[in-house]
Structure 1
Amino acid sequence: MAKAAVIILAGTESHADLGRIVNGLETAKEFAETEGDDVELIFDGAGTQWVPKLEDEDHDYHDLYQSVRDDMAVCDYCAGAFGVGDAVDEAGAVRLDENEGHPSIRDLVDDDYEIITF
């Protein structure tokens, strides 16, 4: 049994960022589909900007996003800072704010999650 926290930090500015989000979603999907594994998918920092883009049914990776959406959470502070708070709420995403408005990476490490960033 593996425990992984896949953290999406990549913004939406470049082709490289698109590659990082796709790789992050594919990684989260692999853990989600493996029986006995536990995965947390966290959009943090500039990565929060992906939520409204991936919610769009016309986005090329909408279906991949939908396949891991149930395991998703978003940094509360960063959703506001990057102007996507309303879209995050409309998506029904859990907002994490355990560490001064941000997700607690320390708590994930303490709970034996491997931290993987994209």
Structure 2
Amino acid sequence: MAKTAVIVLADNESHADYGRLANALETAKEFAETESDEVKLIFDGAGTQWIPELEDESSDYHELYQTVREDTAVCDFCAGAFGVDDAVEDAGVVTLDDHDGHPSIRSLVDDDYEIITF
């Protein structure tokens, strides 16, 4: 059994950023499809800007995102800092604020999660 946290830090401005997102979603999906694994997909920093796009049904990545949406969370502080807090709230995506308004990476490590960043 693997416990993995996939963290998306990539912005949404370049072709390379879209590649990082696709790889993060595919990685999270692979863990989600393995019944004995636990996965958390966390959008942090500039990565929080992906939520409005991924929630849009016309997005190229919407379907892939839907396969891992129930395992998805967003940094509360960064959603506000990057101006997507209303979109995150409207989408009903869980926000994390365990450590000074941010997700606690230390808690994930303490809970034996492998951390993968994109």
Alignment of 1:1-118 (within 5 A): 1-118=1-118
The one-letter amino acid of 1:37's match is: D
The one-letter amino acid of 1:45's match is: G
CA offsets 1:22-64 (integer angstroms, 9 cap, x no match)? 0000000000000110000000000000000111100111000
Partner SS state of residue 116, structure 2: strand
The one-letter amino acid of 2:117's match is: T
Unaligned runs of at least 5 residues, structure 1: none
Across the aligned residues of Structure 1 and Structure 2, the Cα RMSD in angstroms comes to 0.4
The one-letter amino acid of 1:35's match is: E
> After TM superposition, what 4+ stretches of structure 1 lie above 2 angstroms from structure 2?
none
User: How far apart are the structure 1 equivalents of 2:84 and 2:108?
Assistant: 24
Q: CA deviation at 1:117?
A: 0.2
% identical aligned pairs: 75
TM-score, scaled relative to structure 1: 0.99
Unaligned runs of at least 5 residues, structure 2: none
User: How far apart are the structure 2 equivalents of 1:56 and 1:96?
Assistant: 22
User: How far apart are the structure 2 equivalents of 1:95 and 1:27?
Assistant: 21
> How many residues end up aligned between the 2 structures?
118
